[in-house]
Chain A
Amino acid sequence: MSLGESATPLGKVRGLGSAREGGEHWLTERVTSIALLLLGVWLIASLLFLPGLDQRTVLEWLHAPSGAIPMALLIIIGFKHALDGMKVVVDDYVHEPANNFALNTLLLFLAVGGGAIALFALARVAFGTIA
């Protein structure tokens, strides 16, 4: 039984558990949720304890690896968890196959596109020079 499979071998023979990738998706949602628990608390604590939220202070915070690395993880895992969660909502309420596919594809494009924009902005801050 590999990671994320939701049925035992006997259960599979009997037709129990997910027929497709449901087990993997289910587990990924939960693993990313635990990561986001830590990263979300980190973000809020950072915003509270920074000396200010002016541009210079925030730039210096995210220029340092101690700020940039958790923020990169927050972006990647946050967009992934959002995509997984929104897929559950779409699959629950949109049953017509073409509409379901269209909405899930739109969500995928939004998540990957949005994540790329956020990561690129972070990279400019992390690798750029602060004037």
Chain B
Amino acid sequence: MLVSILHRVTGAGLSIVGLAVLTWWLTALAGGNDAYAGFAKAAGHPIGIIVLVGLTWAFFQHLFSGIRHLVMDSGAGFELRTNKRFAILTLVGSILLTIALWVYLLEYRP
């Protein structure tokens, strides 16, 4: 139930915020030094980082719950215990990957 709702919420978030950030990034890249500096400043601001961390989590959560839906489309994984385990796995997986990625980005990336 929760994971199914999260699939919608993260999908809407990626559609609206995610694609807006991607488009902003690409137009800033094409727009010259000042435009890119403006984007980089916003992306490096604490609020910008929170948005980007949120998008990273939304991507992984949507990816994993999407895979779960593809498996269920095939008619598999409906047994209650299996279904619940898979749902919890998507939550744990998306949070762990998001933490790992951002710890690397903020602490270890050259």
Q: Which residues of A contact B (CB under 8 A)?
A: 30, 33-34, 37, 40, 44, 48, 51-55, 58-59, 62, 71, 75, 78-79, 82-83, 85-86, 89, 114, 117-118, 121-122, 124-125, 128
B103 at the interface (CB under 8 A from A): no
Q: What does DSSP make chain A's interface, helix, strand, loop or mixed?
A: helix
Q: Which residues of B contact A (CB under 8 A)?
A: 8, 11-12, 14-15, 19-20, 22-23, 26-27, 29-31, 33, 36-37, 40, 56, 59, 63, 66-67, 70, 73, 101, 104-105, 109-110
| 6 contacts across the A-B interface (CB closer than 8 A) | A51-B110, A71-B26, A75-B22, A75-B26, A89-B12, A121-B27
Query: Closest CB-CB distance, B68 to chain A, in whole Å?
Result: 12
Q: What does DSSP make chain B's interface, helix, strand, loop or mixed?
A: helix
Query: Closest CB-CB distance, B51 to chain A, in whole Å?
Result: 15
Query: Closest CB-CB distance, B49 to chain A, in whole Å?
Result: 13
